[in-house]
Amino acid sequence: LLPDLLTAAVERSPESSALVCGSAEISYRVLDSRSSRLARVLVASGVVVDGFVGVALPRSVDSVVSVWGVAKSGGAVVPFDPGYPVERLERMVVDSGVRVGVTVREFVGLLPSSVEWIVLDDPAVQAVLASVSDEPVSAVDRVGRLRAESAAYVVYTSGSTGVPKGVVVTQAGLANFAVEQRDRYGLTGESRTLHFASPSFDASMLELLLAVGASSTMVVAEASVFGGVELWELLVSERVSHAFVTPAALASVDPVGLVDLRVVVVGGEAWSSELLGRWAVECGVGGGVREFFNGYGPTETTIMSNISDALVAGDVVSIGAPIRGMSA
């Protein structure tokens, strides 16, 4: 189950860096402590297993802590982009039945008032969080029993038909996918992975699992980073070794000088052999060609159902074979 993945990462490397975001950095032990406190506050606020919990935060340390806090409470994460029109957000609230959410003061006025928002930077909320236990959350702390078929998160479609559709993804398959990524991409505790996807995109969950599967360090791109030079500078300065990036964003980055980046995974949209030719090149660290993978899968199939073998320049673009535990 999703909470167990974080528990295992903490047990392996409690003092290793879990998150880096700008000048902020926290260890796996601190991530565990902060998310456990939040989980207890969520349960006290009425969150039950399979209950939907809004998370209205841009990429940040707080957003990652909140996702793990919701997971520990037994709830399912419903990401709300504070930049969406209020009508869309209200439709999502009505559709999902969210009654409790997590945000910060900056966004409260932009969000539906029908939700009880736990405002992380409110002094009163901070006092409550400090007053509850930070011990690991267990089954006795939750309201309901967390099972493989329990909801883990909800992803809303772009609404091309006029009405966004919420896709509920269960706990089943998340641990399998974390192991698949760890083994396929050669992740270790020394790896530094990228968190660049929008929290409203299921690739953000891919990135959480990418890091936690091997107790790697997740480098969180601040919300102001969209690609191009800013992303290149982040990859260089934080020595990112593994990254999932959509083809459009990857095409905006110059691969020259990214000597630490040894694994790149693309997905979410079609791409050309020209992109492969630019990126599957000598990466610099220890010699060898940078590994380039193509991942494919509808949201409903737990992020990815197929991943290609490492591709080299001149290869035919392929979605590859099913990952372990899957058929296609």
Mean of pLDDT values over 11-26: 97
**239, two tokens:** 């020595």
Tens of pLDDT, residue by residue over 118-128, are: 999 999 999 99
Please tell me the pTM assigned to this model. 0.95
% residues pLDDT > 90 (the chain): 85
pLDDT number for residue 230: 97
Reply yes or no on whether the pLDDT at 288 is more than 80: no
With 80 as the cut, is the pLDDT of residue 116 above it? yes
pLDDT, mean over the chain: 94
Chain-centre distance of CA 133, in angstroms? 25
DSSP assignment of 119-182 equals ETT-HHHHHHHHHS--SPP-GGGSSS---TTSEEEEEE---TTSS--EEEEESTTHHHHHHHHH
Q: How far is CA 319 from CA 33, 93, 160, in A?
A: 39, 35, 24
**Cα distances (Å, whole numbers) of residue 290 to 17, 74, 161, 265:** 25, 39, 39, 11
Supply angle C-alpha 129, 130, 132, rounded to 5: 70
pLDDT of 314 above 70: yes
pLDDT tens track for 260-282: 999 999 999 999 899 999 999 87
The Cα–Cα gap between 195 and 291 comes to 18
Tens-place pLDDT, residues 61-105: 999 999 999 999 999 999 999 888 888 899 999 999 999 999 999
At residue 287, the pLDDT reads 65
pLDDT in tens, 144-153: 999 999 999 9
Determine the pLDDT at residue 264. 97
Q: For the chain, which domains are there? A: 2-15+28-170 (3.40.50.980), 174-322 (3.40.50.980)
The arrangement of strands across the sheet holding 116-119 comes to 116-119, 100-103, 52-55, 76-79, 151-156, 166-170
In which band, very low, low, confident or very high, does the pLDDT at 160 lie, cut at 50, 70 and 90? Answer: low
